[in-house]
Amino acid sequence: MRLLILNGPRNPRAAKYAQYRGTYRAHPTYCDRLPREHAINRLFFWFLEEGGELGVVHNVDNALQYAQLLNQFGLPNYSQFEVIEVTDGNAPPKVGSQLLGFDLSADLNNSLLWWQFEPQPEVSALPPPIQEEVNSICKTYRPQLNSSGLFQTAETASKCLKAMDAVQGTCPFIYEAGELRQAYRVVGIYVLRSRPNPQADGTGIGGQTGRFPTF
């Protein structure tokens, strides 16, 4: 079971595509305006320890509680955190309850879909045959993205990855370095249902003010 705690767009360029809810989104950060002993910051250190560089965690209760606290007490513009479960292809989720769609993700930390197949100015600098192929992919697959900016089926996602990889084979680095199908995989994105809100003052976890949570 692989869980990610994600917010909105990851960078200013991605902010243009706010509907996207795949793996390439902002991770939690330390909350400077709250004390180190506050539940949010204690959970941040748990997140760092368990999630590592990629931010993949496994403790459902901690992940949900952390997302709830972040949304309640977090920094400005960081109030859309959610916990998602990521599965390989069509594999069923263990705890995720609602399918958002299927992403093309590398290491659960990147995506080929965050830009939503919007035509990019730099494409005009490519040789005409490559331009045609890239634009054809955009025209074919952009209408198939759902309201979460993802594909509705793993089959469609797989066909898209194959098409993008074929273009990459004739024009290296057009999307990413290397062969896309070696680095990227079709993954299912399932959102978890939130638990009841933690206590309003946020001073403790599980109602235990001043104590560290048991992770």
Predicted local confidence at residue 35, as pLDDT: 93
**Location of structure tokens 């955190």:** 81
Give residue-wise pLDDT tens across range 23-40.
999 999 998 888 999 999
Residue 138 lies in a domain: yes
**164-179, pLDDT tens digit by residue?**
999 988 888 888 867 8
For residue 211, is it within any domain? Answer: no
Helices and strands of the chain, counted as H and E runs: 5, 8
Is 86 domain-assigned? yes
Residues forming beta bridges with residue 2, ordered by sequence position: 86
The reply to whether 213 falls in a domain is no
Express each pLDDT in 143-158 by its tens digit: 999 999 999 999 999 9
> How high is the pLDDT of residue 76?
64
Global confidence as pTM: 0.87
d(CA 134, CA 129): 9
User: Range with the lowest mean pLDDT among 84-93, 97-106, 167-176?
Assistant: 167-176
Q: Is residue 45 part of a domain?
A: yes
- Provide the token pair at 147: 């309201």
Given a cut of 60, is residue 194 above it in pLDDT? yes
Averaged pLDDT for residues 63-75: 87
Is residue 93 a part of any domain in this protein? yes
Distance CA 112, CA 109 (A): 11
> Where are any strands of DSSP class E within 23-167?
56-57, 82-88, 98-106, 110-111
With contact defined as beta carbons under 8 Å apart, do 160 and 105 qualify? no
Split into its structural domains, the chain has a count of 1
What residues make up the domain containing 179?
A: 2-206
Percent of the chain with pLDDT over 90: 69
* Residue 209 clears pLDDT 70, i.e. is over it: no
- The token duo for 135 is 């634009």
Q: Is residue 59 part of a domain?
A: yes
